[in-house]
Structure 1
């Protein structure tokens, strides 16, 4: 059984080595662990830091393409290199590397195809009260759209079986986290959540520049995913809303 841990990176030379040092070297039930980074058009020496550390695979983009495309490129490279399980984590050491064993265990035990790490959002000090509320709200919307019970949909700390990775396809340019849960739920994949720990913040998040931008992009991502998997229901709902608004002005 081969595990490949992938890390999407964009100008992560300062934090990458900390993250890599925290990754597990052995997990019971796993015969081989390898490491892969996706260098998403970095202008610093991210790739050199990874190679010096001993990362097995480096996928490089000449220009920045965004988190979603980096994630998919990583999945493809992991599959081509024989991964039976793929774990995705962040380069800023947000997640505790030792908890990767918690992520892969349900897959090893045949209980899940996809496992999402549930962060202690309400106890995370560097999350503002507004961000905590938005995280909970966004996760609730994803649960409704995907018909799953995942409590932390935006979490990027997750594991995929080989079969699940072969079936995943992200079409938006923003992030993979929400769309892949909707897709997994609608495709009837076995998806499970496990509690995980987080580390102190090393740098500010680069995924969004404002709360409003985060909300807007997240809503659009969920709507696109829902439109793809339940188009008839989506257009019926949209038509009902437009009809109700029109009737209100009659």
Structure 2
């Protein structure tokens, strides 16, 4: 059983040594532990620090790609290097590495495909009241969409089985945290949560420049996820809202027409017609989006099968090479 711990870094030369030092060198149930660092276009000495500390694998981008793309690049690399379990953590040492055994245990026991480390949000001193509310609101929305019971959806401290990693795709450039949970939930993966500890916050988050920026980008990200993963419900709900609004204005006009004042409220008829027309169009869009969603699922299944075939081919080639080496040694 091989575990690879991946760490995405952007200008983390100061925090990275402490983060690497805290990682476990051996774990019960794990035969081999490796570390993968994703250098996401750092302009400081992050790459040099990673090399000096002898990490097993390094992916280095010349330009910053963002957290989501770095995460997927790491996942794909971990699969390439033969990981049976992938643990994702942050380079700023925010998460307590001593909790990694808790993260991987449900996967080792066959009880989960993905495990999310749940932070004690209400007790984290570095989080403002607004951020705590947003974290809980975002997690609630993700639970609703994904049909999972994850209390801390934005947590980046997570473990993923090999088979689950093969099924993941991230389309959002902002962050991977919400989308991967939604994908896992809608693909009937077993997603569980375990409580984890956090270390004191050393610096403000680099994921967003300000709280208004975080709110806007998080809202857009969740809205896009609703459109992509629940298109029929999303557009049908919009259609019904417009239908109901049009119906209300239509009833309003009928009321005034019955009492003899209809001529002065012709604008209600016009507005009712426009709203009902938009509602009808939204309903049509809901059915079209549902068909596109089916096509997306088929493409994801094809991608999963291709990834699985590539992984199996590498395993077969590796076994052949090992067999050839044994035969050569015996002949010698």
> TM class by shorter-chain length?
over 0.9
1:116 corresponds to which residue?
A: 116
Distance 1:244 1:213 in 2: 33
RMSD of the TM alignment (CA)? 1.2
Q: CA 1:241/1:107 → structure 2, altered by over 3 Å: closer, same or farther?
A: same
Conserved in 2, the CA contact under 8 Å of 1:8 and 1:71?
yes
Larger CA Rg, structure 1 vs 2: 2
1:209 corresponds to which residue?
A: 209
Distance 2:248 2:202 in 1: 51
Deviation of 1:227 after TM superposition, in Å, equals: 2.0
Deviation of 1:248 after TM superposition, in Å, equals: 5.6
1:227 corresponds to which residue?
A: 227
Conserved in 1, the CA contact under 8 Å of 2:115 and 2:159?
yes
Conserved in 1, the CA contact under 8 Å of 2:145 and 2:226?
yes
Task: Please give the TM-score of this superposition, normalised by the length of structure 1.
Answer: 0.97
Conserved in 2, the CA contact under 8 Å of 1:3 and 1:87?
yes
SS in 1 for 2:155: coil
Residues 151-190 of structure 1: pairs in structure 2 closer than 5 A: 151-190=151-190
Q: Deviations over 1:87-128 (max 9, x none)?
A: 000000000001011100000000000000000011111111
SS in 1 for 2:39: strand
What is the aligned residue count?
250
Conserved in 2, the CA contact under 8 Å of 1:183 and 1:225?
no
Task: Please give the TM-score of this superposition, normalised by the length of structure 2.
Answer: 0.73
Distance 1:63 1:244 in 2: 49
Higher fraction of helix: 2
1:128 corresponds to which residue?
A: 128
SS in 1 for 2:170: coil
The answer to which structure, 1 or 2, has the higher relative contact order (CA under 8 A, 6+ apart) is 1
SS in 2 for 1:175: coil
Deviation of 1:177 after TM superposition, in Å, equals: 0.2
